[in-house]
Amino acid sequence: MSVARGGRLAAADQAMLELNQSVDVDWRLWREDLDGSKAHVGGLQRAGVLTEAEATELQSGLDRIAEEIEAGQFVWDPVKEDVHMNIEARLVELVGPVGGKLHTGRSRNDQVATDLRLYARRRGTEVAQAVAELASVILDRAEEQLDVLMPAYTHLQRGQPSRLSHHLMAWQELLWRDFGRIHDALARMNECPLGAGAAAGTGFPLDRAWVADALGFDRATANSLDATASRDFLMELVSALAILGVHLSRIGEELVLWSSQEFGFIELADGFTTSSSMMPQKKNPDVAELVRGKAALLVGASVSLMVLEKSLCFGYGRDLQEDKRPLFDACDNARVSLAALTGALATAKFRGEIMEGALTRGHLVATDVADYLVTQGVPFREAHHILGGLVRAAEAAGVELSRLPAATFEAAHPALTGEALAEALDPRRAVERRAVFGGPARPRVEQAIERARTRWGAALA
């Protein structure tokens, strides 16, 4: 099979047709393509290229195409290559020869660049909203679990007593930065390429500022070559989504660990787990594992866009046809990961008694006893050495640090005795002593939750 291509070229080979067509992917830009075309019609009318009657007829035809697509009646034809040509061909069928005037002063180069910015802006806003929804659930759970203590870990080893809410707020901090990165990318991409033409603009007196405003852009792009040949706005957004994916993967990793029998800190609701095809007792944390997997695809999409553009000269190159799938996939994968984690965390059961029980193993208050010695005038390095010896003695005796005989403590240092030592060995007191800004003491965590709710509310207002 072959078809003629314009007036310049003869028929294309079937293999070229398969390579050339992109409508199986870029049909998803139909909404943005119609919006951009309607704004272009308005621009052509303002420039005197179209009469009012012609503009009205074109706008009506574009509206009818939107209705057909939404109703599932539109037939996408791969022979017509892409979303742009499919829509234009149908427009000509609906309104006749005047449909051929739509592409006046416009190239598919500035057309697709506009569509992509509109699409990325819409989907990026959706993902940012989903980030905020996940953060809201985390804030709710943090407020609900304020009294639950747990170990803080380093190297995946129990380190110091902490608070579950403080841990959850660490997740929230990541999401706040993700939200900011996405919005930074959206702000920088909010420029309109229409009027840039194929590479060097157009000779028609188009009011590019008017068209940009009609489409909700802040301004028109400042350089026609850059407008049509650059996709760093996609790189920036998808890179932000890749970082988000890494953060969601880290949360997912903790959910996998915490839901294991070895930890037992959390139980995920049945709706976010699966069983085994062989082992009937299994309840697998697949929601978290799948989110970890999606992170790999998000990172891959970011890399794909960077590699795609790295060797392109200025001026459109057909390589850029492949810029859509990474964008579409990244937005899809980020959105489904966020929705799944939001549901999983909203319905999860935290096992506070097991978390607090973990504070009784691993000598977690050793630093607090060393800090107490510092208050008695002992240099920290010396205090550290003393406590290291006490932990070694506890390990040799097979007991926790707090279970060593009083005589052992007093022999290590005369200050290690009485009520002051008992307070230093109390995990709950240890948490509340950590009252520095950003620490896990209850008043600080309460302040952190309030501060977070305020800034999320302001950002979403």
Mean pLDDT, the chain, as a whole number?
A: 94
Per-residue model confidence (pLDDT) at position 14: 73
> What is the residue whose two structure tokens read 């896990």?
440
Q: Among candidates 30, 194, 6, 221, which has minimal Cα distance to 106?
A: 194
Domains of the chain (ranges plus CATH)? 19-104 (1.10.275.10), 109-145+162-355 (1.20.200.10), 359-460 (1.10.40.30)
CB-based contacts of 60, cutoff 8 Å, min separation 6: 95
> What is the residue whose two structure tokens read 């509206």?
63
By the 10 Å C-beta count (0-12 exposed, 13-18 middle, 19+ buried), 49 is classed as middle
> What is the residue whose two structure tokens read 């392109």?
312
Biggest alpha carbon–alpha carbon distance for the chain: 100
End-to-end CA separation in angstroms for the chain: 55
Per-residue model confidence (pLDDT) at position 92: 97
CA distance 456 to 139: 10
Q: Are residues 44 and 105 in contact, defined by beta-carbon separation less than 8 angstroms?
A: yes
CA distance 362 to 222: 61
Query: For every one of its 461 residues, what pLDDT tens digit does the chain have, with 9 covering 90 and above?
Result: 234 355 555 566 677 666 767 888 999 999 999 999 999 999 999 999 999 999 999 999 999 999 999 999 999 999 898 999 999 999 999 999 999 999 999 999 999 999 999 999 999 999 999 999 999 999 999 999 999 999 999 999 999 999 999 999 999 999 999 999 999 999 999 999 999 999 999 999 999 999 999 999 999 999 999 999 999 999 999 999 999 999 999 999 999 999 999 999 999 999 998 887 888 788 899 999 999 999 999 999 999 999 999 988 888 888 888 999 999 999 999 999 999 999 999 999 999 999 999 999 999 999 999 999 999 999 999 999 999 999 999 999 999 999 999 999 999 999 999 999 999 999 999 999 999 999 999 999 999 999 999 999 999 98
pTM: 0.93
Q: What dihedral do alpha carbons 237, 242, 245, 246 form, nearest 10°?
A: -140
Catalytic residues: 155, 276
Per-residue model confidence (pLDDT) at position 4: 39
Per-residue model confidence (pLDDT) at position 228: 94
Q: Are residues 245 and 233 in contact, defined by beta-carbon separation less than 8 angstroms?
A: no
Residue 134 C-beta-side C-alpha neighbours within 13 Å:
29
Per-residue model confidence (pLDDT) at position 3: 40
Report pLDDT digits (tens) over 66-92: 999 999 999 999 989 899 999 999 999
Report pLDDT digits (tens) over 95-121: 999 999 999 999 999 999 999 999 999
Per-residue model confidence (pLDDT) at position 319: 85
Per-residue model confidence (pLDDT) at position 1: 26
Per-residue model confidence (pLDDT) at position 10: 54
CA distance 391 to 399: 9
CA distance 231 to 409: 65
Token output for 187: 């702000």
Per-residue model confidence (pLDDT) at position 318: 86
Write the secondary structure of the chain as one string of H (helix), E (strand) and C (coil). CCCCECCCECCCCHHHHHHHCCHHHHHHHHHHHHHHHHHHHHHHHHCCCCCHHHHHHHHHHHHHHHHHHHCCCCCCCHHHCCHHHHHHHHHHHHHHHHHHHCCCCCCHHHHHHHHHHHHHHHHHHHHHHHHHHHHHHHHHHHHHCCCCEEEEEECCEEEEEEEHHHHHHHHHHHHHHHHHHHHHHHHHHCEECCCCCCCCCCCCCCCHHHHHHHCCCCEECCCHHHHHHCCHHHHHHHHHHHHHHHHHHHHHHHHHHHCCCCCCCEECCHHHCECCCCCCCCCECHHHHHHHHHHHHHHHHHHHHHHHHCCCCCCCCHHHHHHHHHHHHHHHHHHHHHHHHHHHHHHCEECHHHHHHHHHCCCCCHHHHHHHHHHCCCCHHHHHHHHHHHHHHHHHHCCCHHHCCHHHHHHHCCCCCHHHHHHHCCHHHHHHHCCCCCCCCHHHHHHHHHHHHHHHHHHHC
